[in-house]
Amino acid sequence: MNEQHLRTFVNRQTNQTRNDYWMHLNASIDCVQFLLKQGLAFRSHDESNNSTNKAKEQMAIVIRYVDKNGHAVEHILGIVHVTDTSALSLKAAIDALFSKHSLSISRLRGQGYDGASNMRGEFNGLKTLVLKENGSAFYVH
Protein backbone atom coordinates (compact mmCIF):
# COMPACT_ATOMS: atom_id res chain seq x y z
CA MET A 1 0.00 0.00 0.00
CA ASN A 2 2.79 2.43 0.89
CA GLU A 3 4.68 1.61 -2.32
CA GLN A 4 1.57 2.37 -4.41
CA HIS A 5 1.09 5.69 -2.63
CA LEU A 6 4.72 6.65 -3.25
CA ARG A 7 4.47 5.77 -6.95
CA THR A 8 1.28 7.88 -7.29
CA PHE A 9 2.96 10.78 -5.49
CA VAL A 10 6.04 10.65 -7.76
CA ASN A 11 3.90 10.47 -10.91
CA ARG A 12 1.82 13.43 -9.76
CA GLN A 13 4.98 15.47 -9.03
CA THR A 14 6.52 14.50 -12.38
CA ASN A 15 3.38 15.58 -14.24
CA GLN A 16 3.26 18.86 -12.31
CA THR A 17 6.93 19.56 -13.09
CA ARG A 18 6.35 18.80 -16.77
CA ASN A 19 3.29 21.08 -16.87
CA ASP A 20 5.20 23.88 -15.13
CA TYR A 21 8.06 23.53 -17.62
CA TRP A 22 5.72 23.80 -20.62
CA MET A 23 3.91 26.77 -19.09
CA HIS A 24 7.21 28.63 -18.57
CA LEU A 25 8.47 27.68 -22.03
CA ASN A 26 5.29 28.91 -23.73
CA ALA A 27 5.40 32.17 -21.75
CA SER A 28 9.02 32.71 -22.84
CA ILE A 29 8.13 32.04 -26.48
CA ASP A 30 5.21 34.48 -26.26
CA CYS A 31 7.55 37.16 -24.89
CA VAL A 32 10.12 36.59 -27.64
CA GLN A 33 7.45 36.73 -30.35
CA PHE A 34 6.08 39.98 -28.92
CA LEU A 35 9.54 41.59 -28.84
CA LEU A 36 10.30 40.45 -32.39
CA LYS A 37 6.97 41.71 -33.78
CA GLN A 38 7.46 45.07 -32.09
CA GLY A 39 11.12 45.36 -33.10
CA LEU A 40 12.13 45.73 -29.45
CA ALA A 41 15.43 44.83 -27.83
CA PHE A 42 15.84 41.77 -25.61
CA ARG A 43 17.50 43.94 -22.97
CA SER A 44 16.89 47.27 -21.30
CA HIS A 45 18.51 50.52 -22.38
CA ASP A 46 20.01 51.26 -18.94
CA GLU A 47 23.78 51.17 -19.33
CA SER A 48 24.57 53.40 -16.35
CA ASN A 49 27.39 52.52 -13.93
CA ASN A 50 24.93 50.71 -11.64
CA SER A 51 23.29 48.72 -14.44
CA THR A 52 23.68 44.97 -14.76
CA ASN A 53 22.97 45.34 -18.51
CA LYS A 54 26.09 47.35 -19.21
CA ALA A 55 28.08 46.37 -22.32
CA LYS A 56 26.02 43.32 -23.31
CA GLU A 57 25.89 44.15 -27.04
CA GLN A 58 24.78 41.34 -29.32
CA MET A 59 24.19 41.07 -33.03
CA ALA A 60 21.73 38.66 -34.62
CA ILE A 61 22.61 37.49 -38.13
CA VAL A 62 19.82 36.13 -40.31
CA ILE A 63 20.38 34.79 -43.80
CA ARG A 64 17.80 34.46 -46.54
CA TYR A 65 18.41 32.16 -49.46
CA VAL A 66 16.60 30.23 -52.16
CA ASP A 67 16.66 26.46 -51.69
CA LYS A 68 16.94 23.81 -54.42
CA ASN A 69 13.15 23.85 -54.87
CA GLY A 70 13.06 27.61 -55.47
CA HIS A 71 11.59 28.46 -52.06
CA ALA A 72 12.82 31.47 -50.09
CA VAL A 73 14.14 30.37 -46.71
CA GLU A 74 15.13 32.52 -43.72
CA HIS A 75 17.50 31.08 -41.15
CA ILE A 76 18.99 32.57 -37.99
CA LEU A 77 22.68 31.98 -38.52
CA GLY A 78 23.60 33.07 -35.03
CA ILE A 79 23.59 35.64 -32.28
CA VAL A 80 27.08 36.85 -31.50
CA HIS A 81 28.51 38.99 -28.73
CA VAL A 82 30.36 42.06 -29.95
CA THR A 83 32.69 44.12 -27.80
CA ASP A 84 31.54 47.36 -29.41
CA THR A 85 29.23 48.42 -32.21
CA SER A 86 31.76 50.01 -34.52
CA ALA A 87 31.46 48.96 -38.14
CA LEU A 88 34.86 47.23 -38.00
CA SER A 89 33.88 45.12 -34.98
CA LEU A 90 30.56 44.16 -36.55
CA LYS A 91 32.26 43.23 -39.83
CA ALA A 92 34.80 41.08 -37.97
CA ALA A 93 31.96 39.29 -36.15
CA ILE A 94 30.15 38.62 -39.45
CA ASP A 95 33.36 37.38 -41.07
CA ALA A 96 33.99 35.01 -38.14
CA LEU A 97 30.44 33.63 -38.19
CA PHE A 98 30.49 33.20 -41.98
CA SER A 99 33.82 31.40 -41.72
CA LYS A 100 32.49 29.13 -38.96
CA HIS A 101 29.66 28.04 -41.29
CA SER A 102 31.89 27.85 -44.40
CA LEU A 103 30.08 30.79 -46.03
CA SER A 104 31.66 33.50 -48.13
CA ILE A 105 30.89 37.23 -48.29
CA SER A 106 31.62 36.98 -52.02
CA ARG A 107 28.38 35.00 -52.52
CA LEU A 108 26.27 37.57 -50.67
CA ARG A 109 23.76 39.38 -52.90
CA GLY A 110 22.03 41.66 -50.44
CA GLN A 111 22.38 43.16 -47.00
CA GLY A 112 19.93 44.88 -44.69
CA TYR A 113 20.31 46.43 -41.25
CA ASP A 114 18.27 48.22 -38.63
CA GLY A 115 19.17 51.67 -39.97
CA ALA A 116 21.68 52.68 -37.28
CA SER A 117 24.36 55.02 -38.60
CA ASN A 118 27.19 52.55 -37.86
CA MET A 119 25.42 50.07 -40.12
CA ARG A 120 24.44 52.14 -43.12
CA GLY A 121 27.09 54.89 -43.11
CA GLU A 122 28.04 55.96 -46.63
CA PHE A 123 31.77 56.18 -45.92
CA ASN A 124 32.63 53.88 -43.06
CA GLY A 125 29.50 51.96 -42.10
CA LEU A 126 29.15 48.20 -42.13
CA LYS A 127 27.26 48.41 -45.42
CA THR A 128 30.22 50.13 -47.05
CA LEU A 129 32.75 47.67 -45.64
CA VAL A 130 30.77 44.76 -47.08
CA LEU A 131 30.32 46.54 -50.44
CA LYS A 132 34.08 47.16 -50.67
CA GLU A 133 34.60 43.40 -50.39
CA ASN A 134 31.64 42.45 -52.58
CA GLY A 135 30.07 44.98 -54.93
CA SER A 136 27.10 42.63 -55.55
CA ALA A 137 25.91 42.77 -51.91
CA PHE A 138 23.32 45.51 -52.47
CA TYR A 139 21.97 47.32 -49.42
CA VAL A 140 18.24 47.30 -48.62
CA HIS A 141 16.96 49.11 -45.52
Does residue 50 lie within any of the structural domains? no
Digits of tens for pLDDT over the chain (141 positions)?
566 776 777 777 787 888 888 888 888 888 888 888 777 766 655 556 666 655 577 888 888 888 899 998 888 888 888 888 888 888 999 999 999 999 998 988 888 877 665 565 656 678 888 888 888 888 776
70 and 92 share a domain? yes
Does residue 38 lie within any of the structural domains? yes
Does residue 37 lie within any of the structural domains? yes
In sequence order, the 6+-apart residues with CB closer than 8 A to the CB of 71 are: none
pTM over 0.85: no
Return the C-alpha torsion angle 112, 113, 114, 120, nearest 10. Answer: -110
What is the pLDDT, as a whole number, of residue 117? 58
Distance (Å, rounded) from C-alpha 103 to C-alpha 85? 22
Q: Is the dihedral of CA 120, 123, 124, 130 positive or negative?
A: positive
* DSSP bridge pairs for 64: 74
Does residue 30 lie within any of the structural domains? yes
Q: Decide: 120 and 94 in contact? Cβ < 8 Å.
A: no
109 and 72 share a domain? yes
Does residue 74 lie within any of the structural domains? yes
Domain that holds residue 96: 58-139
Distance (Å, rounded) from C-alpha 112 to C-alpha 121? 12
* Beta strands per DSSP E along the chain: 58-66, 72-81, 110-111, 138-139
The three-state secondary structure class of 113 is coil
Which uninterrupted H or E stretch holds 31?
Answer: helix 2-38
Number of separate domains in the chain: 2
What is the pLDDT, as a whole number, of residue 48? 61
What is the pLDDT, as a whole number, of residue 51? 63
The three-state secondary structure class of 141 is coil
